[in-house]
Amino acid sequence: MDDHIQIIVNSENICILTGAGISAESGIPTFRGAGGMWAKYRPEELATPEAFAANPRLVWEWYQARREAVSKAAPNPGHKALAEWEGLARSFVLVTQNVDGLHRAAGSRQVLELHGNIRRNRCTACGRESTMDEITFNGQLPLCECGGLLRPAVVWFGESLPEQVLEAAFAAVRQCDLFLTVGTSAVVYPAAALPRLALDRGVPVIEVNTEETPFSAGATYSLRGPAGEVLPPLVAAYASAPHRSRQIS
């Protein structure tokens, strides 16, 4: 049995960080890859409070276009493998940078959305949250009942991540005995600190990515390939390990 499979099979407390790459096979463009959505724009132009203050319509048009893509997207075998794995391990915490909601759609329950969720809006005046289905964006800026301007309920660059969610993510890294980083270029902080903290703790870190990343050289193992193909066999090996019975969670 390959070394990395042996390590995976013997793990009990698993923490996973996912990024845009795990949703690529669901048809959602990544940020930085070839053809990624940043190719046309730069993060600073759109995913920042300054960009929204300067040109809310442009930012809303970009998010509406992304919401279209997200609404048409379905979870792929990579999302489904992680949802299955959750029920097999003693503890399994899925931390995602993605805002597309596909992990929950695939059946994952313990999901920490570090950067929020594109399917939700938040009022810039009263803070009330609503879903994207509650508004129709016909070019008019969407307003809350209180009259305040709505924004997508995501974390922009320069904005702090939700405190409790980030705390829970760091707590999960501190108690895991295996960490996987899947489909992320590992350049956006503080999310990118999570796999590095796992390594500092001496926990094996396995990267799953179609390309080399700035993190690859430091990973315990870097598995090259699409998440939808690499993850299912890893979960199958985990499920079939003799000492593994389905965890009653």
- Positions touching ligand BV8 (CB under 6 A) are 19-21, 24-25, 30-33, 36, 47, 97-99, 115, 154-160, 183-185, 187-190, 208-211, 213, 226-227
> How does DSSP classify residue 39?
G
Q: CA of 115: how far to CAs of 20, 99, 189, in Å? A: 12, 6, 11
What is the number of H-type helices and E-type strands within the chain?
10, 9
Residue choice 123, 132, 153, 205 for contact with Zn ion (CB under 5 A): 123
Q: CA of 99: how far to CAs of 11, 66, 96, 104, 175, in Å? A: 28, 10, 8, 11, 25
Residue choice 146, 171, 187, 236 for contact with Zn ion (CB under 5 A): 146
Q: Which residue number, 11 or 30, has a Cβ lying nearer to ligand BV8? A: 30
CB of 224 to ligand BV8, least distance (A): 9
The DSSP line for 90-105 is SEEEEEE---S-HHHH
- Gap between the Cα atoms of 84 and 213, Å rounded: 27
**Listed ranges 28-36, 77-85, 107-115, 122-130: which one lies at the site for Zn ion (CB under 5 A):** 122-130
Residue choice 87, 148, 218, 232 for contact with Zn ion (CB under 5 A): 148
172 binds, among Zn ion, ligand BV8, none (CB under 5 to 8 A by kind): none
**What beta strand segments (E) does the chain contain?**
13-18, 91-96, 111-113, 116-123, 129-131, 150-154, 178-182, 205-209, 221-224
Q: Would you please indicate which residues are annotated as catalytic (active-site) residues?
A: 115
Q: Does 125 bind Zn ion (CB under 5 A)?
A: yes
Q: Which residue number, 183 or 195, has a Cβ lying nearer to ligand BV8? A: 183
Residues with Cβ within 8 Å of residue 69, at least 6 apart in sequence: 27, 28, 29
Q: Which residue number, 121 or 177, has a Cβ lying nearer to ligand BV8? A: 121
Q: Which residue number, 36 or 148, has a Cβ lying nearer to Zn ion? A: 148
160 binds, among ligand BV8, Zn ion, none (CB under 5 to 8 A by kind): ligand BV8
Residue recorded with tokens 């009022």 = 123
State the alpha helices, DSSP H only, in 95-226: 102-105, 163-175, 193-200
195 with 16: CB under 8 angstroms?
Answer: no
98 binds, among Zn ion, ligand BV8, none (CB under 5 to 8 A by kind): ligand BV8
9 binds, among ligand BV8, Zn ion, none (CB under 5 to 8 A by kind): none
107 binds, among ligand BV8, Zn ion, none (CB under 5 to 8 A by kind): none
Q: Does 144 bind Zn ion (CB under 5 A)?
A: yes
Q: Which of 99, 111, 81, 64 is nearest to 238 (CA)?
A: 81
Q: Which residue number, 94 or 123, has a Cβ lying nearer to Zn ion? A: 123
Which residues of the shown chain bind Zn ion in the complex (CB under 5 A)? 123, 125-126, 128, 144, 146, 148
